[in-house]
Structure 1
Amino acid sequence: MLPAFPRFNTRLGAAIAALALAGCASHPAVVPSAQWPAQLESALPTDVLLLGEQHDAPDHQRLQRDTVQWLAARGRLAAVVLEMAERGHSTAALARDATEAQVQSALQWNDAAWPWSAYGPVTMAAVRAGVPVLGGNLPRSAMAAATQETRWDNHLAAPARQQLLDALQDGHCGLLPATRLPAMARVQIARDASMALTAQEAVRPGQTVLLVAGGEHVLRHRGIPTHWPTNLTSKVASALTDKAQAATTTGADIVVTTAPLPPHDACEVLRLPN
């Protein structure tokens, strides 16, 4: 069975995000993970820092925790916005010494979709620093309505929209009926809009909002930044496990390269005969 909403095949989604729009934007700075978060200084000041990840790469979640700690230690972290929790949920009312159970309850954490073992460290790093963690994703209860929101069909320029449709198809192993793609694209764009609004509301003068999401969501030309007003400043950092991809990545200002993951065909199970 295919997923009910577009959480990408992480390997394919990362590859497509990396190779998209080649030649249409300047190449980003490429740095190894050992130079992060020291490289953060080059991205500041900015209202929002978007940190894109590959969901199955533990090194990327460690980068997120390190980023939180680096910004918080300098008093520069306004809030952390997570794709992994729904908009409307927040730790703002919790004390720094809140338990992990209290934090998960406040964020209405869905461990089946987003393992707490992966994202707990970055979340708790923010809580311990006294920084609010905000759910940014479109609530699941709003997904069905989003599939009917035709206004999103014209949100992106035609080339970027086609790239999004291609990414959705490839990220689902090429097995989606073409007729499903427009509705899935509306949900994807609505999710980006939800995260963008959450981050925009959290902006504070002299500080930076850290927004953590999958690599496809953070791309400047077709992701979350397309929903912001022109007076909001942002920087996009994408974490990638493939240095070859980094050479052609666009839609990001900085690429952080991490160790390759073991070879794995995430589509294999979907290709097996019933």
Structure 2
Amino acid sequence: MKQVLIAVALMMNPASLLAQDVLFLGETHDNPGHHAEQAERVKAAVPKALVFEMLTPAQASIVTPELMGDQAALESALDWGNSGWPDFAMYYPIFAAAQEAMIFGGAVPREDARRIMSEPVEAVFGADAPVYGLDQALPEGQQAMREAMQMSAHCDALPENMLPMMVDMQRLRDAALARAATQAISQTGGPIVVITGNGHARKDWGAPAILAALTPDLDIYALGQGEDGAGDPSGVFDEITFSPAVDREDPCAAFK
């Protein structure tokens, strides 16, 4: 089955997809140190494309080099204030570090995300779901581990029957990022940088794992970013760096 998926992916994309570099830069979304590290890595990498978990394909399509050079105009054009993501001032230096790069969006549009409550993940993703492995059930042990992580991440307050749906949402977002990365390499030839949360950047089952299954000759590097005193981020990464921890409220306080 894996060889079939690889063959389909190569028919969808030119041969230049192979043997190119993809750099996944993980983050904790509200940590400014993580974004500063990402901006430095982007500047050093000189990517031809940036893929953002925070942008839908429609948002990414409106970004121009002129907008990339104007923080206020770019924030307004992206309607960032209504996005739910942290302060744009933390993200803008990443854009500014590669103003000539093409921008791609790997976010799942909200209307599609809502569909996951009533439709199978492969139906929400679309016709190429089998290419990205979404027609296949996860191994039993991994499914159980992911469900436990979702329960913990939601303060042990989720009904158990919601856990499979939450795992499907994570898989949907991983696959959307992998698809955006595939498109970015196909259109630019690479190298590309993917800006995303640590959970999507992990090489054992995140977007890099999907991309590696599709194109095993692709050179993929993943950075995970932790916070001082909090231990390593969950998952497998090529490298882990640390920044000062952010002083934030306990997200589970309301459930205690």
TM-score bracket for this pair, using the shorter chain length: 0.7 to 0.9
Partner of 2:93: 121
Partner of 2:29: 55
Partner of 2:74: 103
Question: Which amino acid is 2:75 matched to?
Answer: Q
Percentage identity across paired residues of the two chains = 26
Partner of 2:164: 182
Q: Is the 8 A contact 2:67 2:73 kept in 1?
A: no
Partner of 1:39: none
Matched, 1:134 2:104: yes
Partner of 2:15: none
Q: Is the 8 A contact 2:121 2:169 kept in 1?
A: no
1:1-274 superposed matches below 5 A: 47-72=21-46, 77-90=47-60, 93-95=64-66, 98-114=69-85, 115-127=87-99, 130-147=100-117, 148-151=119-122, 152=134, 154-203=136-185, 204-205=188-189, 207-228=190-211, 229-231=214-216, 232-242=218-228, 245-246=231-232, 250-262=235-247, 264-271=249-256
Partner of 2:13: none
Structure 1 pair 80–164 and aligned structure 2 pair: CA distance change class (3 A): same
Distance in 2 (CA, whole Å) between partners of 1:46 and 1:156 is 28
Question: Which amino acid is 2:156 matched to?
Answer: G
Q: Which sections of structure 2, spanning at least 5 residues, go unmatched? A: 1-18, 123-133
Question: Which amino acid is 1:211 matched to?
Answer: V
Structure 1 pair 249–98 and aligned structure 2 pair: CA distance change class (3 A): closer
Structure 1 pair 153–265 and aligned structure 2 pair: CA distance change class (3 A): farther
Q: What TM-score results when the alignment is normalised by the length of structure 1?
A: 0.70
Distance in 1 (CA, whole Å) between partners of 2:183 and 2:246 is 36
Distance in 1 (CA, whole Å) between partners of 2:35 and 2:167 is 26
Q: When you count helix as a share of all residues, which structure comes out higher? A: 2
Q: What TM-score results when the alignment is normalised by the length of structure 2?
A: 0.75
Distance in 2 (CA, whole Å) between partners of 1:244 and 1:145 is 35
The size of the alignment, in residue pairs, is: 219
For each residue in 1:207-236, what CA deviation from the matched residue of structure 2 results, as whole angstroms up to 9, or x when unmatched? 421111111111112211232213333111
Distance in 1 (CA, whole Å) between partners of 2:70 and 2:31 is 26
> 4+ runs of 1 displaced by more than 6 Å?
none
Partner of 1:33: none
